[in-house]
Amino acid sequence: MIIPSPSADDDGGRRRAVSSQLALRGPELSANLCKPEEDTLRVLVTGGSGNVGVGVVRALNAARHHVVVASRGYSPALLPEGVRAVRLERTEPDAYTRLVAAEKPDAVIDLTCHDAADAAVTLRACAGVDRVVVVSSVTAAGPATTTPVTEATAAPPLSEYGIDKLAVEETVRAAWADGTSQALLVRLGAVYRLGADLDGQLAEDGCWLAHAAAGAPAVLADDGAARWNLLHADDAGAALAELLANDRARGVLVHLASRHPLPWRELYERVHHALGRPFNPVSVPAEWAAEQLEDAEFLAETSRWDQVFDLGLLDRLAPSYQERGGPSRVTEVALWLIRQGRVGDAELGAEIQELPARLAAVRTAPGLV
């Protein structure tokens, strides 16, 4: 189902004013203000109101493209002035195809391909579109024993999410092979921005922020040595906008992640110090912790492994792109979440805080961990 969004006059000004308090001021996005008309594209962004999409839309708008955002539930307050929103329920038969036919975009950036079926729908709907970008995930490849991870890394994914994302890639690769599409595949790393949550190492949840705010010990897996990779949404958007503008960025797979991976221990320490709290880390073995936690998927499949990626191809395809975010901006987001009281699941946080005592009890019993 495709439903036009409310007009910009429908209280849009007030909502944009409110939203300005909910977003970090994005990095200055390079835009040629005298952009030739022939370089201006009409771009459809599916999922453009989500965590990643906000940065993508902002970058495209700054580059003077004409942007239409399609999503199940649009958030006009998060969209720049001049960006139009439509509602798309992509599970409805032919809804995506009808939308593309109606909008006639020069380019599509799809942030909503979750599995092979989604990818097939996207490729079918965008068969006549000149430039198509399908966003996958770095989790489509499993943990690597050596880093940096390249686009050719063939380790099988561990998580169901990663398995589904790999199926997306395989569907697009099949279209490359039979000549029906030259869509660009982008393996995107974890993305953050003000207004979105920040996960901790032991759980895909923000409960670690409550521990930091209370001055409680920071519970880490394997000393928090694994390097986590967080890319600001504005940086993701800037890179995707440049990739879209490069006519050579077709029919290939490229990594898009941060150049500044941060050990979990350092991330936690930065937040504790910014709060003026003591940093007293306690380490538990990652493998043991994954066996103890009721929901250990994030730790077992993602956060216990180094997230360091080879960005050489990105440098060649988007030579002007420069990452503006970094550890200090991650800390800003963490502090904002704490001020807003968005500090995760208290019950899960208590379970994590109990791990050191449980480990000590096991170690004093027969059979050391």
What was the pLDDT predicted at 5? 35
Q: Over the Cα atoms of the chain, what is R_g?
A: 21
pLDDT in tens, the chain (369 residues): 333 333 333 333 333 333 333 443 344 444 433 444 558 999 999 998 889 999 999 999 999 999 999 988 766 666 888 899 998 998 888 999 999 999 999 999 999 999 999 999 999 999 999 999 999 999 999 988 788 999 998 899 999 999 999 999 999 999 999 999 999 999 999 999 999 999 999 999 999 999 999 999 999 999 999 999 999 999 999 999 999 999 999 999 999 999 999 999 999 999 999 999 999 999 999 999 999 999 999 999 999 999 999 999 999 999 999 999 999 999 999 999 999 999 999 999 999 999 999 999 998 876 555
Is residue 368 included in any domain, yes or no?
Answer: no
Is residue 332 included in any domain, yes or no?
Answer: yes
Is residue 181 included in any domain, yes or no?
Answer: yes
What was the pLDDT predicted at 34? 42
Helices (H), 255-295: 264-274, 286-292
Cα 198–204–206 angle (5° rounding)? Answer: 40
Say how far apart CA 186 and CA 133 lie, in whole Å: 7
With a CB cutoff of 8 Å and minimum separation 6, the contacts of 281 are: 217, 218, 219, 220, 223, 224, 265, 268, 269
Question: Do the beta carbons of residue 67 and residue 61 sit within 8 Å?
Answer: yes
Is residue 193 included in any domain, yes or no?
Answer: yes
What was the pLDDT predicted at 10? 37
Is residue 109 included in any domain, yes or no?
Answer: yes
Bridge partners (DSSP) listed for residue 84: 68
What was the pLDDT predicted at 73? 72
Cα 99–104–110 angle (5° rounding)? Answer: 60
Is residue 369 included in any domain, yes or no?
Answer: no
Say how far apart CA 16 and CA 64 lie, in whole Å: 19
Is residue 123 included in any domain, yes or no?
Answer: yes
CA distances from 327 to 26, 112, 180 (A): 15, 28, 41
What was the pLDDT predicted at 192? 98
Closest CA to 109 of 277, 286, 243, 213: 243
**CATH number of the domain to which 11 belongs:** 3.40.50.720
What was the pLDDT predicted at 46? 96
Q: Which residue has the tokens 């835009």?
A: 31
Q: Count of H helices and E strands in the chain?
A: 14, 14
Buried b (16+ CB within 10 A) or exposed e, 89-127: ebeeeebbeebbeebebebbbbbbbbbbebbbbbbebbe
What was the pLDDT predicted at 36? 47
Closest CA to 190 of 218, 226, 154, 221: 226
What was the pLDDT predicted at 74? 60
Q: How many CB atoms lie within 10 A of CB 50?
A: 23
What was the pLDDT predicted at 212? 98
DSSP secondary-structure letter at 87? E
Closest CA to 114 of 140, 86, 132, 92: 140
The residue range of the domain holding 137 is: 2-360
What was the pLDDT predicted at 146? 85
Is residue 154 included in any domain, yes or no?
Answer: yes
What was the pLDDT predicted at 153? 85
Q: Is the pTM of this model over 0.75?
A: yes
Closest CA to 296 of 306, 286, 305: 286
Structural domain count, the chain = 1
CA distances from 347 to 169, 210, 344, 361 (A): 37, 11, 9, 21
